[in-house]
Amino acid sequence: MHKRTMLIVVAIAFAAIAAFFIPKSGTTPVSTATAPRVGVAKFVAHPALDDLEKGVVDELTATIPGVIFDLQNANADMATAAQIARKFKSDGATVAVGIATPTAQALASAIKDTPVVFCAVTDPVAADLVSSYDGGGANVTGTSDMTPVAAQLDLLTALRPIQKLGHVYNAGEANSVKLAELVRAWCDDHGVVLVESTVANSAEVRTAVLSIADRIDGLYLGNDNTVFSAVSAVAEVCLQKKLPLVTADPTSAETVPVLAAVGFDYYQMGRATGRIVARILGGEKPGAIPTYFPSAPEEKSLVLNLDVAAKLGLTPSTDMIAQATVLIRNGAVERKTR
């Protein structure tokens, strides 16, 4: 009787082990040797780029079985971005994703024989990533976050009339140089005096804002990665100086006390970038895929901070409050159903 019991126990154990190694119905095991390897490099850690990274990872995890990620952060250093690009190349990444212009440029410069997908690059043509928005380069394509500068500045002046506008940006970022041109054009058209201050790294941002704070009526931040890595310091100065601050990053505006932000939902843009990567992994050539510009309502967002408005003595209109997709009120984030 004892031997029979032991045999039954052993049989059950073998059955359990066999069941563990047998694939579930409807699934196909993916070998790590053949699984696609996607390198994802962001220029620096801040809420918008973190959301982009998460969107890429979530989209590919949901659509590409067994995908393996190599997530890297250049920490706002071009030499590090170049090192990451060389790493992806030597490691044999199936696709390399560059989040933000400097990182995408580093990848495209180093990697010529495998696909490179740029993510949230303001002007990929000006950045020499592709020759046309209508088609990718030989091995490059991706998504653009060409921000609606005019709409953002119109929003700022609707909240408070501006005669002297401040703009802080990194003159070493191609995307920021392009946006600076658009800001200058808007100021020329509206008779607004533009007061610029440029930085080379995030450590200079607070000082740059302070250097112009007493000469401006309001401050605008485009989607500059260097500046946004220090956006909390910018918001602090603006509150101290009673300056309205409008930015191009709705993501950080939910946690950082800026007056308002209008722009793209960067998580959704990350998902859109992930869909392009999935198409390439499915066999499409990057050169046949045009640059993706977000246009759907769910890909855009307007964040309005009523708490900051009150501190600045401003009262947003009823229409503006109605248009906001996210309101910050009494310290709470209110999301509207789209």
Q: What is the CA radius of gyration of the chain?
A: 24
Q: Give 321's strand partners.
A: none
Mean pLDDT along residues 95-115: 97
Mean pLDDT of 133-158: 92
Please tell me the predicted confidence (pLDDT) of residue 338: 62
Is 276 a residue whose pLDDT tops 80?
yes
* Percent share of the chain, pLDDT over 90: 82
Please give the pLDDT value at position 33.
67
Cβ partners under 8 Å of residue 26, min gap 6: none
Please state the CATH superfamily assignment of the domain spanning residues 149-264+300-335 in this structure: Response regulator (3.40.50.2300)
pLDDT score of 174: 85
What confidence category does residue 26 fall into, taking pLDDT thresholds of 50, 70 and 90?
very low
Question: What is the rounded distance in angstroms from the CA atom of residue 176 to the CA atom of residue 204?
Answer: 16
What pLDDT, on a 0 to 100 scale, did the predictor assign at position 20?
A: 38
300, 248 contact by CB (below 8 A): no
Q: Is the pLDDT of residue 184 over 50?
A: yes
For residues 281 and 210, give the distance between their C-alpha atoms in angstroms, rounded to a whole number.
Answer: 48
Among candidate residues 266, 275, 272, 268, the one with its CA nearest the CA of residue 63: 275
The more confident residue out of 27 and 256 is: 256
Q: What is the pLDDT of residue 31?
A: 58
In angstroms, the CA 146 to CA 118 distance is 13
Residue with tokens 């010529």: 112
Q: Which residues contact 295 (CB under 8 A, 6 or more apart)?
A: none
**Coil, strand, or helix at residue 120?**
coil
Question: Taking the CB of residue 324, how many other CB atoms lie within 10 A of it?
Answer: 20
Decide if pLDDT at 109 tops 60: yes
Q: List the chain domain ranges.
A: 37-146+266-297, 149-264+300-335
For 233, the token pair is 């310091």
Greatest CA span in the chain, whole angstroms? 98
CA separation for the pair 168, 202 (Å, rounded): 11
Fold agreement (37-146+266-297, 149-264+300-335): yes
Q: Please give the CATH architecture assigned to the domain spanning 37-146+266-297.
A: 3-Layer(aba) Sandwich (3.40)
Kind of pairing between the strands at 218-221 and 164-170? parallel
Residue type for 112, please? Answer: K
Residue 165's H or E segment, with its range, is strand 164-170
Q: What's the pTM? A: 0.79
CA neighbours within 13 Å on the CB side: how many for 90? Answer: 6
Q: Which of 20, 66, 73 is nearest to 45 (CA)?
A: 73
Nearest partner of 230 among 259, 200, 188, judged by Cα: 200
Strands (E), the chain: 37-42, 68-73, 95-99, 116-119, 140-142, 164-170, 193-199, 218-221, 245-247, 260-264, 300-305, 326-329, 332-335
CA distances from 88 to 70, 72, 95, 107, 167 (A): 8, 10, 9, 8, 35
